[in-house]
Structure 1
Amino acid sequence: MGKNYLKSSLQNASFNIVFQVLFRCVTFILNAFVLRHVSQAVVGVMNVRLLLLESTILFLSREAFRRACLSKTSEHNWPQVINLLWLMVPLCSILSVFFGYIWLYVLVAPSTSITEHYTLGVWAICVSCIIEMFCEPLYLAAQAFLFVRLKVVMDTIYILVRTFTFVPLILYQPNEAVVAFSVAQILAALVYLCGYYIYFYFYIKNLRNESGKVKDGTSSLSPNKPSKPNYDRRESIDFEEEFPFSSLADFLPSRIENEPPVNYSLVNLTWSFFKQGILKQILTEGERYVMTLFSVLTFYEQGVYDIVNNLGSLAARFIFRPIEDSAYFYFSQMITRDTPIKEQNPKHISESANVLYQLLRCICCIGLVILTFGLSYSKLLLFLYGGEKLIDGPGPLLMRVHCLAVLLLAVNGITECYANATMNTAQLDRFNYLMAILSVSFLCISWVFTTLMGGVGFILANCCNMSARILHSMWFIHLRYKDTDYKPWNGLLPGPYFLVTLFVAGCITAISDIYLFDRHKFIHLLIGGFTFITVLGAWAYEEKTLVSLAVQKFRAKSKKKD
């Protein structure tokens, strides 16, 4: 069972990375084009103020439900889970009205010289968030039953619809960017919703036609007998006999005879994640909340900061987030929350400890590469993205400091992912108290640092926050494995050949940046490419076992296709 979970998790991560890199590159190019038609102040309104509203509503509405309901999915009583998931719709509606009112009547609105359509943008965000909640039961079923490609395809479609709606409208009416933003937001949410329902409609229809094992008009969703899929035979989504939904009506809330409408242990776990989610949201979007609530930066400065932040977090969106999502699912299935390590399946514990070690080692190496080359190529990246206007101001310094934050973000993502996937309810509650302390400290440090250093202060405050969270998660992992022979935290120490090669590459590229950037940008880029290949070779030499395993898996997969 563990191998199938691991395979599906790795498959999910790889599909996420490939598809997100491909299509985010398209949106990256289009956004660079838009920057030349929209003022940076309007960018600040859309990408900081309005997207912060969306992030706040969506995270608080669904994150806790997703994390709780993805724990031990093979043991679920699915009617109870579906009933619990539908609570997200009224919760999201209440949060949308509450935060929409705050964004409109409590916070300082942008002046009409920046945009006249701020109110439209706020309500468009609220409506789109509510629309997305209607497909959450289908989303979670897709995750639980390992529909590895579906989530990636739907997320990609969502991005494409929003981007290719927004860009033409911007070119047609550059002065009404917020209107274009609002139209694109709602249209993308509707397409996303319809996509999930259409997919499962035809999937269930095919099950009926091909297997003949689900009778028309009879639901296979038994409220008294939870579905227990046979994961050993599962490949992608080919598991018709175990899929417990016989029609789209099974994804709707229902009355369950002789049992509670929801699983109360899942409710308690959801509540723990919800309390933690409030604090985590403050920590994740802390700088945007400080910008929005205290107006420490103008909308123009917010726009510049957001552009740099988006560029600096490309690795987090492309690589780290897909890996974290898949790792969370893997660890939550392999390790039981309420059972000591010594009392669990030794094979599962050995495999999960090795996976954690390898993840930490790979993530740390990726973060160090980004930090090293980011110091020398931040200015070039900003120049290619937005032209001279982005490198004349504080942009290059912001980008360089952000590279340090990316390294810490990468390590924190994996360590905290393991902790959240394996903590019991009591440990999660204690973690919530720590997050509360970190949240208050982070906001205070952000305000002080930003007052003294501007946008750089936000990034440095975030680095302090990430460091504290890493220390806590590593301490939890240490306690988890202290009575065993496993030491997965050693994955944070890359090999010596890799570190030496990376140091030399950093020195060479720094000299190139000083002497070649202004007059010979292409040569500067070639030097970076050559040193990057050298660093990659050093890493592959030290990770021969991992690389050879990956090559074997790739060859075996290619032979199966042939």
Structure 2
Amino acid sequence: MINKAGKQLTWLFALKILSRIFDLSLNILVLRDLEPGIYGLTTNLDLLTNITLFYLKIVLKQTYSRLKDPNQEQTQSAVNLMYFGLLITICIAPITVLVMSYNQSVAFAKTAFLYGISAVIDGASEPYAVQWIIQLKLNVVAKAEGLAVFMKTIVLYILLGKYTRELFQIETVIGFGIAQVIYSIFIFGYIFSLSNQSKFKQLNKEGVYVVAEMKQVGYQFTLMAFMKFLLQELEKIVMVIYNNPIISGEFTLVSHIGSIIPRFIYVNIEQIAFNLFPKINQEEQTQLLQKYLKFLNLVGISIVSAGIPCASAFLQIYGSQWTSDSCILAMQLYCIYIWIMGINGITESYVNSTIDTKDMWWYRYLLIAQTIIYSLSLVILVQMGSSGIIISNILSMSVRIFVSFLIINKQGIKIQWNAIMPKFMILYLLGFLFQYLTEGFQLLVLTALYYGILGLINIKTVTEVIKSN
């Protein structure tokens, strides 16, 4: 089972990293001529998508992913559950579009409508993705998302590129909406074409559509996931309310750049771990969790030591409008946030996939307390601009890690702290200091070489996670 997950992890790493690098490369050409304020509007659109797909992709998807050894009845139950979630998505989409479009320009309203359509199409692929996720054949989902990102980026560059913008005469924001629809169409088309026919049907003659166990877990996850949703998306909600496009633009760019690692490495490790932890014994859980933590510390420490000195030089690639002091500081802080994010993601994956139903009530109250603390800190620190939002995220996520480790310890998992840190830590500190002796493109090249060598020194940690054996 673990070896099987390792092969899927390899697929996910390769396909998603390549598609993301391609995405960022073409986006550089688009963003060099784009004002931060205009780009900041995409924060509202991302929030629209996340709200619309929240119940389907967060609550219900996690509910059936906890199945240890699903039989045919449970698999059909999971398919039915996703059709129910799709119905909820279809109902939520127009409401979200109307609310987000209130008091906005006509161009933004049209774009919001396109994002709503895109969310529904994306959600329609979920009943067909059930069989691949349950069987841990995540390479199918990876290929679908990789192809979708590739096509989205191509369309975005054609519509908004420096040499083609005049030809199509499309307003900038609407271009993002069209590209998002293309993204969802390719995800749906690819998964639908490979999946067996997945119909909504009864499980038995008694008229049952979803097994009782899945209903109960789904109810518990609804309450927990809502709190987690606020923890993850409150920053966007505050930025929409605060209505400062410059701050939104800086934060969106920084998080877009920083999302290479979280969205295309962390998320996939977490998804595999979430499905894998309930299916193995506690000794294997301990070993696997330690391997993941060591790998994530290696990635996080490398990003912090390489990213903070290189932030200014890297942002120069996107144009001088992105090199303000506030944007550079936000980029540096986000490097720390990426490290914290990785540790939080894997620990919460373990907790959410293994916690007993009877313990969910007090875990839920802890999430409520975290949400309140995060809300207060975010409202206060947003006055500092984009860097204040990131500081608030770091504080909030640190508290979540602490809570997760309390639960991990309660469940009998003993982490050996000396086994989860990368080798030769002093070399990372020296690399961090030496980078201040160079600048510009030379700094980026030397940094890549230096940390590439450190990566080879720790190659065993990387291969252990990929193989997961």
TM-score relative to the length of structure 1: 0.77
- Answering whether residue 429 of structure 2 is matched by residue 503 of structure 1, we say yes
Give the corresponding residue for 1:272.
Answer: 220
Please say which of residues 36-45 and 442-451 is displaced more in the overlay. 36-45
Change in CA separation of 1:538 and 1:157 when aligned onto 2, cut-off 3 Å: closer
Q: Is the 8 A contact 2:159 2:175 kept in 1?
A: yes
What is the root-mean-square deviation in Å for CA atoms of aligned residues?
Answer: 2.4
Q: Is the 8 A contact 2:55 2:85 kept in 1?
A: no
Mapped to 1, the partners of 2:29 and 2:342 lie a distance apart of 29
- Answering whether residue 218 of structure 2 is matched by residue 299 of structure 1, we say no
User: Any gaps of 5 or more consecutive residues in structure 1?
Assistant: 202-247, 335-347, 555-562
Residue pairs, 1:53-92, within 5 angstroms: 53-76=48-71, 77=73, 78-92=75-89
Q: Which of residues 8, 14, 39 is equivalent to 1:43?
A: 39
Change in CA separation of 1:165 and 1:18 when aligned onto 2, cut-off 3 Å: same
Residue pairs, 1:133-532, within 5 angstroms: 133-170=123-160, 171=165, 172-173=167-168, 176-200=171-195, 248=197, 250-254=198-202, 256-258=204-206, 260-295=208-243, 298-334=244-280, 348-384=281-317, 386-451=318-383, 453-481=384-412, 487-488=414-415, 490=417, 493-494=420-421, 497-509=423-435, 511-512=436-437, 516-517=438-439, 521-532=440-451
Mapped to 2, the partners of 1:410 and 1:61 lie a distance apart of 24
Give the corresponding residue for 2:6.
Answer: 10
Q: Is the 8 A contact 1:419 1:476 kept in 2?
A: yes
Counterpart residue type for residue 90 of structure 1: L
TM-superposition CA deviations, 1:363-400 (whole Å, max 9, x none): 1121111111111111111112x122222342211111
TM-superposition CA deviations, 1:275-333 (whole Å, max 9, x none): 222111111122111111233xx213311221112112322123211111111111132
| Offset, 1:405 | 0.9
Mapped to 2, the partners of 1:493 and 1:275 lie a distance apart of 32
TM-superposition CA deviations, 1:461-485 (whole Å, max 9, x none): 001101100000011111111xxxx
| Offset, 1:446 | 0.8
Mapped to 2, the partners of 1:432 and 1:294 lie a distance apart of 28
What secondary structure is seen at the aligned counterpart in 1 of 2:113?
A: helix
Mapped to 2, the partners of 1:436 and 1:157 lie a distance apart of 38
| Offset, 1:493 | 4.7
Number of matched pairs: 462
Q: Is the 8 A contact 1:357 1:491 kept in 2?
A: no
Please say which of residues 420-429 and 23-32 is displaced more in the overlay. 420-429
Counterpart residue type for residue 53 of structure 1: L
Mapped to 1, the partners of 2:445 and 2:173 lie a distance apart of 40
Give the corresponding residue for 1:535.
Answer: 454
Mapped to 2, the partners of 1:9 and 1:491 lie a distance apart of 26
Q: Is the 8 A contact 1:364 1:492 kept in 2?
A: no
Q: Which of residues 108, 119, 123 is equivalent to 1:118?
A: 108
Q: Is the 8 A contact 2:295 2:462 kept in 1?
A: no
What secondary structure is seen at the aligned counterpart in 1 of 2:208?
A: coil
Q: Is the 8 A contact 1:16 1:322 kept in 2?
A: yes
Mapped to 1, the partners of 2:453 and 2:185 lie a distance apart of 47
TM-superposition CA deviations, 1:135-163 (whole Å, max 9, x none): 21111111112323211111112212222
Q: Is the 8 A contact 2:53 2:89 kept in 1?
A: yes
| Offset, 1:490 | 2.2
Mapped to 1, the partners of 2:179 and 2:451 lie a distance apart of 38
Q: Is the 8 A contact 2:9 2:272 kept in 1?
A: yes
Q: Is the 8 A contact 2:228 2:367 kept in 1?
A: yes
What secondary structure is seen at the aligned counterpart in 1 of 2:458?
A: helix
Change in CA separation of 1:253 and 1:125 when aligned onto 2, cut-off 3 Å: farther
Mapped to 2, the partners of 1:255 and 1:391 lie a distance apart of 58
User: Any gaps of 5 or more consecutive residues in structure 2?
Assistant: none
Mapped to 2, the partners of 1:450 and 1:282 lie a distance apart of 16
More helix by share: 2
| Offset, 1:87 | 0.6
Change in CA separation of 1:525 and 1:164 when aligned onto 2, cut-off 3 Å: closer
| Offset, 1:73 | 5.0
Counterpart residue type for residue 417 of structure 2: N
Mapped to 1, the partners of 2:344 and 2:128 lie a distance apart of 30
Mapped to 1, the partners of 2:452 and 2:121 lie a distance apart of 45
| Offset, 1:19 | 0.7
Return the index of the structure with the highest Cα Rg: 1
TM-superposition CA deviations, 1:388-426 (whole Å, max 9, x none): 222234221111111111111111111111101101223
Mapped to 1, the partners of 2:94 and 2:416 lie a distance apart of 44
| Offset, 1:530 | 4.1
Change in CA separation of 1:376 and 1:137 when aligned onto 2, cut-off 3 Å: same
TM-superposition CA deviations, 1:58-96 (whole Å, max 9, x none): 123331111111122523413333222211122112221
Counterpart residue type for residue 293 of structure 1: I
Mapped to 2, the partners of 1:141 and 1:251 lie a distance apart of 12
Counterpart residue type for residue 88 of structure 1: G
Mapped to 2, the partners of 1:189 and 1:493 lie a distance apart of 38
Change in CA separation of 1:128 and 1:492 when aligned onto 2, cut-off 3 Å: farther
Change in CA separation of 1:492 and 1:471 when aligned onto 2, cut-off 3 Å: farther
Change in CA separation of 1:467 and 1:11 when aligned onto 2, cut-off 3 Å: same
Please say which of residues 321-330 and 391-400 is displaced more in the overlay. 391-400
What secondary structure is seen at the aligned counterpart in 2 of 1:86?
A: helix
Mapped to 2, the partners of 1:145 and 1:529 lie a distance apart of 37
Q: Is the 8 A contact 2:290 2:415 kept in 1?
A: yes
Residue identity over aligned pairs, in percent, reads 19
Mapped to 2, the partners of 1:20 and 1:259 lie a distance apart of 41
Counterpart residue type for residue 459 of structure 1: I
Mapped to 1, the partners of 2:39 and 2:419 lie a distance apart of 37
Mapped to 2, the partners of 1:354 and 1:166 lie a distance apart of 43
Q: Is the 8 A contact 2:52 2:93 kept in 1?
A: yes
Q: Is the 8 A contact 2:203 2:210 kept in 1?
A: no
| Offset, 1:538 | 4.5
| Offset, 1:199 | 1.5
Q: Is the 8 A contact 2:78 2:130 kept in 1?
A: no
Give the corresponding residue for 2:117.
Answer: 127
Runs (4+) of structure 1 exceeding 4 A deviation are 546-551
